[in-house]
Amino acid sequence: MFYHVGLFGQPGSSKSTVGLSFPGVEQNVFGSSEELTAANFSQRSDILKPIKLDWMDFLLPEERVKFFKEETSEQEMDLLKRSGIARMVKKYRRYILQTKEDLKAGKRPELKTLFLDNATPFLDYYRDWMDFYYETKFRTKEGNYDSIKASIEYAVQALDFIELFNSLECHTVMSFHVKMTVDEETAAKVDFMNDSKKGIKYPKEFNPLVTGSLKYQLAGKFDFAFFLQTEENPGLPNKYIAKLEADAANIGIAKGRIQPFEKGGRIELPKGTFFDLLDGAVKKKFAGNQVSK
C-alpha cells in the first residue's frame, strides 16, 4: 500500500521532518534550505541524495552573465528569471514522468518515497511556467491578458500535476505553507465583525498558501492531509502536533480518506518516526478486514 500525503503547516511545524521519516525518501527541494533537515537523520542510510532546484541553474551562460552587468535593465532581468523558472519546471515535469516509467519498470528499487518540499514556492513557479509557455493562449483579440482565463487554466494544470505526482508507484509526500484567510489586522476584528443576524460571516481559518481557488481543492488530492502545528509551553520542550480532522475553530484542511487514529484531532508527533506511526495505525485499522467477494 502506498500513501499519498499532504503536509500543511506554518514554517517550523516539522513538515520536512515528517516527510523525511518516510522510507527510501528522495527530497525534491524548491525554496529555501529544507534539505538541511536530513542532518537530523544521520543514522539513516535510506535517505537518498536530495534534488535541489534553483532557477538560476537553468540559465544559459550568456544569460547568467547579464545579471551582473549594470546595463541590463530590470525588465530584461525579470524576463530572464521567468525563462529560467519555466525551464526548471519543464525539466521537473519530465523528471516526474520519467520516474513514473522507471518505477513501473522496476528500475529504481531504492526509491520508496518522493517528497516535494515545498509545494508553495513550486506552485508559484508552476504559474510562471504556464504563463511563459502559454502566454498567447491568454491574450484576447485586443492583445490584453485574460487573467480570469489564465487563473482557471492554472488551477486545472496544477491539479493535473499533483494527480500525476500522486500516481507514482511509491509513497508520495508534498508539503505546503499555510496562512489565515484574513490578515492579522483583520483577524483581530473578525470575532467582533461576525454578525449572523446581518448575514455577515468572515471565515477565520488556515488555508494552503497557494494562488486562487486551488487552495480549496488541495486536501482532496491526498489520502491523508495533515495539518501540523507547534505547541509552545514555557520551560518545556515544544510539542509537535498533527491533525487529521477539521477543527471547528480554524482548521479546515485536515482530513483523511480513512481515520486510523483514535484521536485524529490531536496526534502527538514522535521525533523522526512519523511514518512508522502512520503505517502502524493504518495496518491496525485494516487488521483482520477481508474484502467481500
pLDDT digits (tens, 9 = 90+) for 131-175: 888 877 878 888 787 788 888 888 899 999 999 999 999 999 999
- pLDDT of 204: 72
> 12 in the Ramachandran plot: left (φ > 0), alpha (ψ -120 to 50) or beta?
left
Distances (CA, A) of 94 to 81, 91, 196, 255: 20, 5, 50, 30
Q: What is the pTM of this model?
A: 0.88
Q: Which grid cell is 9? A: 503547516
Does 64 have pLDDT greater than 60? yes
pLDDT bin (cut points 50, 70, 90) of residue 216 is confident
pLDDT bin (cut points 50, 70, 90) of residue 293 is very low
- pLDDT of 289: 63
pLDDT bin (cut points 50, 70, 90) of residue 184 is low
- Count Cβ atoms within 10 A of the Cβ of residue 76 and give its class: 0-12 exposed, 13-18 middle, 19 or more buried: middle
* Range with lowest mean pLDDT among 103-112, 173-182, 219-228: 173-182
Max mean pLDDT among 151-165, 235-249, 276-290 falls in 151-165
Does 71 have pLDDT greater than 60? yes
- pLDDT of 190: 54
pLDDT bin (cut points 50, 70, 90) of residue 48 is very high
**Mean pLDDT (the chain, rounded):** 87
